[in-house]
Amino acid sequence: MGSFKLSLLAVLLVAVAAAVAGDELRTFIVHVHPHESHVFGTADDRTAWYRTFLPEDGRLVHSYHHVASGFAARLTERELDALSVMPGFVAAAPNQVYRLLTTHTPQFLGLDLPQAGRNYTSGFGEGVIIGVLDSGVYPFHPSFSGDGMPPPPAKWKGRCDFNASACNNKLIGARSFESDPSPLDTDGHGTHTSSTAAGAVVTGAQVLGQGSGTASGMAPRAHVAMYKVCGDECSTADILAGIDAAVGDGCDVLSMSLGAPTMPFYRDGIAIGTFGAVEKGVFVSMAAGNDGPGDSTLSNDAPWMLTVAASTMDRLIVAQVRLGNGATFDGESVYQPNISTTVTYPLVYAGASATPDANFCGDGSLDGFDVRGKIVLCDRGNGVPRLNKSAEVKRAGGFGMIMANQFADGYSTIADAHVLPASHVSYDAGVSIKEYINSTANPVAQIIFKGTVLGTSPAPAITSFSSRGPSVQNPGILKPDITGPGVSVLAAWLFQVGPPSAPVFPPRPTFNFESGTSMSTPHLSGIAALIKSKHPDWSPAAIKSAIMTTADPTDKSGKPIVNEQHEPANLFATGAGQVNPDRAIDPGLVYDIAPADYVGFLCGLYTSQEVSVIARRAVDCSRTTVIPERMLNYPSISLTLPATTNPTAPVVVSRAVKNVGEAEAVYYPRVNLPGTVQVKVAPSSLRFTAANQVQNFTVSVWRGQSTDAKFVQGSLQWVSDRHTVRSPVSISFA
């Protein structure tokens, strides 16, 4: 943790120095060519060479290895001048607004897309069925086109409750389990999530001209089955019915972007239903929740689920606020009308109204407050949806809106399709804007639209709404498990969004930007389908292990992933880190868990009767081998050290790993934890001589140097010449 703080301090000092010198850090694309005698053995070698051009660590945003020889980096103009005289430099260009590629997340995660209409015979999730439990689906969107798709596997037993022409080899099933018998989506949520998981390739995607490019789900060759379990509300009964049907129909993966306050698993219908699904070999991806950033706010935390947090990507839909004093602040908004960049408008803070809580711009809160023709500063939150705030400003006659974060939301901004010119800015920007308003008798402002900007940083970063651990129900299991893109995600939608005055585009498929762990969850569902397609015999636990142990704990520049305050995020926010689909396909080792092990784990938490509810059969815990939380063969490690630890009696964790990589391989342990704990891993190496061979090891932990910290976190890695198998480790102090 100390190195993280020092790294952050160094970056801040450099930023201050650059500002004093009159230089601003910007993103540049730098093209470089190595000398012909300079041969790179691996992509990492090339990246290391790229870094030699940079003034310090943490500046690299992207490394290019196939389509360009060079990199993207954050530099000042002066640093770029110095770099330009170095051997190998060719050219540089500033980061600009491009309308190239949308959902953008496949590329951000390192996935290549198949070409539209091309008939692939394998890969991209082929042969896998993803069951999505949500608000239904709009089957006529081209994201659900069956062109070029093979028929579903012979095991498929589901049905389509649309007319015969609506379903096809992509959308193979659609059923409803709530009051509306039609599986048609009237909300948009289910259409968005299902297309994110496995939508077909669609060219010409955009939202009000932003994010233009080619849209695709994570697993564009996988099949989709929709189970509509949500209408005006989502009930446990409907959800459980949907899970039951999906398992019976033959789904391989369940994607569920829904949740409720956490409760004991034996009282949680979703936990019960998904336990049955996993027992039958079905992988389950679940949303961690949108109640962050407070501690222990997550739900869907059973160990048989993959619990998914939400993070940003390296794309912003920039709407810049410029004040009368010349200060500028980059924010976000999707609706970007063509307005003058020279005209300023009066600026007022909604909090100046006499109406209680008017600063949050709720419905009717601006009555009696003169905002006509003005830009209104509103505060985020207080239960008022973001789009409702801009609607209230428009209703009251305002010209535009600036929505400022509260402190808890920090730097987390979201691109929404507002109904008037708007910009969502950070907490710090909001403070500065309020100070400006109070400093002058006639404050004015502009909103200047800059479109879609790629290559932004830091990315990924944990967003403020993403729910956090530790888990209330099982603190011995580190949750969430993983993070994926969940902010301003572009995917299929039912209709064009934005105000009636929005520009009219030629008829084309409609998309929308949405944010939430609802959006990150189907990313992981699709990635699970990619792994299942490649390794059809792997268990849900093995797939989860592959996803977690290959995740990236750092952002695109190589720095630790940060949270909404731009401080290093802890494991209760990131889980194992940002999913890395390419590495997850070939993890080297996996931590597997048999369904019977979950029963032993549950017997350590609950009574026999309570466990029997979850297991759907009579369980006598007195005759069952109880598995303490820390001893479940989970891909992460979470334990608590007592106030004093006897050196001869440390806290011991045991694990078993299965070799799914090269038949002959040797792995060595590497522990990354601070000196406040002492750790011993035994044996000192794991030697494998055959595929699917299982080896056991133990991790012994004692207290080390004195500390006032409540917990320390780090990792245990098993490293071979081809693989790094990383387990996040969290150690709490009693």
Distance CA 558, CA 198 (A): 29
Phi, psi of 207 (to 5 degrees): -130, 110
Check if 189 is active-site. yes
d(CA 463, CA 128): 31
Q: Residue 201 and residue 399: Cα distance in Å, rounded?
A: 38
- DSSP 8-state assignment for residue 452: E
Q: Is 225 within 8 Å of 255 (Cβ atoms)?
A: no
- The token duo for 480 is 């969430």
Of the candidates 518, 520, 533, 612, the residue annotated as catalytic is: 518
For residue 270, give the nearest of 310, 245, 305 by alpha carbon: 305
Cβ neighbours for 138, distance < 8 A, ≥ 6 positions apart? 144, 184, 185, 191, 492, 494
Which residue, chain included where needed, has tokens 């949740």?
259
In the set 62, 63, 104, 134, the catalytic residue is 134
CB 408 within 8 Å of CB 293: yes
Burial category of 113 from C-beta neighbours within 10 Å (exposed 0-12, middle 13-18, buried 19 and up): middle
User: How many whole angstroms from its chain centre is CA 451?
Assistant: 23
Exposed/middle/buried for residue 401 (C-beta within 10 Å: 0-12, 13-18, 19+): buried
Residue ranges of E strands in 367-417: 375-379, 400-404
Residue 323's identity, in one-letter code, is L
Handedness of CA 682, 553, 559, 65 (dihedral sign): positive
Specify the DSSP class assigned to residue 561: P
Hey, what are 168's tokens? 């096809």
Buried b / exposed e over 560-592, threshold 16 CB at 10 Å, is bbbbbbbebbbbbbbbbbbbbbebbebbbbbbb
Q: Helix, strand or coil for residue 659? A: strand
For 163, residues 6+ apart whose C-beta sits below 8 A from its C-beta are none
Q: Which amino acid is at 199?
A: G
- Which among 284, 141, 265 is positioned nearest to 205, based on CA atoms? 141
- Helix, coil or strand: residue 518: helix
Complete DSSP assignment for 297-354: ------TTSEEEEEE--SEEEEEEEEETTS-EEEEE-S------SS--EEEEEGGGSS
Report d(CA 242, CA 236) in Å as an integer. 10
Residues 350/365, Cβ–Cβ less than 8 Å = yes
The active-site residue out of 141, 189, 418, 723 is: 189
Give which of 591, 601, 639, 574 is closest to 307, Cα–Cα. 574
Q: How far is CA 630 from CA 108, 327, 495, 640, 730, in A?
A: 34, 52, 48, 9, 11
Q: Tell whether the torsion through CA atoms of 628, 633, 639 and 644 is positive or negative.
A: positive
User: If 0-12 CB within 10 Å is exposed, 13-18 middle and 19+ buried, where does residue 609 land?
Assistant: exposed
Q: Provide the CA 138 distance to its chain's centre, in angstroms.
A: 24
- Residue showing tokens 């063969």: 633
Cα–Cα distance between 707 and 673 in angstroms, integer? Answer: 13
Residues marked active site are found at 134, 189, 518
